[in-house]
Amino acid sequence: MLTKKIAVLFSGSGSNLEAILKKVHNQIFNGVKIEVCLCICNKPGAFGIERAKKFGLETLVIESAKFKNREEFDAVLVEQILKSGADLTVLAGFMRILTPVFTAQIKAINLHPSILPLFKGAHAIKESFESDMMIGGVSVHYVSEELDGGKLIAQRAFEREDGMSLDEWEAKIHAIEHEILPESIIKILTKEVNV
């Protein structure tokens, strides 16, 4: 049986990591087994490390704060990912802007909490909520040199409800994220979607 491996990079609570581990890790889709072969976190106290342990996975902590610049950090990431043999790298709440050192060598996808190209960057949830938009949503895209600018793989939107709070808006986004990211991984690794 064909096995495809993924590396998952995260920075925080790891709820999207857990969604991947529950829905994709060691599962078989269209005759392809998908396995998480590497978890990397750039923050030593991140709760996602505990979530990975529940699935028997150790997380490699590479503290971004300890590097002189982004390029040095990215070079270490690339080295570890290449060593792992991952077919695809998934950024699941990985709060780092990646340089060409990474983007030129690693096939990666990113999850973003807005309907791109709107609301790029780290404050997308708040910015989309505070906008006049009547919809919010989530995008999955390939990672490129441009921040949140790579080719889109999937998007899903929801309608703003009357009186919706920021917390409700955010909860809706996270619920969609936990569906759309695993689905995108399966789609790419079982159908060989071209970049």
pLDDT score, position 74: 97
Nearest of 166, 195, 25, 155 to residue 39 by alpha carbon? 25
User: Which domain does 120 fall in, by range?
Assistant: 2-190
Annotated binding-site members for (6R)-10-formyltetrahydrofolate: 70, 95-98, 110
Number of domains in the chain: 1
Q: State both tokens at 76.
A: 């270490």
Q: For residue 141, what is the DSSP state?
A: E
Q: What is the pLDDT of residues 66-85, one digit of tens each?
A: 999 999 999 999 999 999 99
Spatial contact of 37 and 56, defined as CB atoms under 8 Å apart: no
Q: What is the pLDDT of residues 130-159, one digit of tens each?
A: 999 999 999 999 999 998 999 999 999 999
Nearest of 77, 111, 98 to residue 7 by alpha carbon? 77
pLDDT range class, residue 171, cuts 50, 70, 90: very high
CATH of the domain at 180: 3.40.50.170
pLDDT score, position 57: 97
**Half-sphere exposure of residue 177, counting CA atoms within 13 Å on the CB side?**
23
Pairing status of strand 108-112 against strand 88-91: parallel
Whole-angstrom Cα distance, residue 110 to residue 21?
16
Q: How far is CA 188 from the centre of its chain?
A: 14
- Catalogue the active-site residues: 112
Annotated binding-site members: 14-16, 70, 95-98, 110
pLDDT range class, residue 124, cuts 50, 70, 90: very high
In a domain, 21, yes or no: yes
Spatial contact of 155 and 179, defined as CB atoms under 8 Å apart: no
In a domain, 99, yes or no: yes
In a domain, 195, yes or no: no
In a domain, 79, yes or no: yes
Please give the average per-residue pLDDT across 36-53, as a whole number.
97
β-pair partners for 154: 140
pLDDT score, position 193: 41
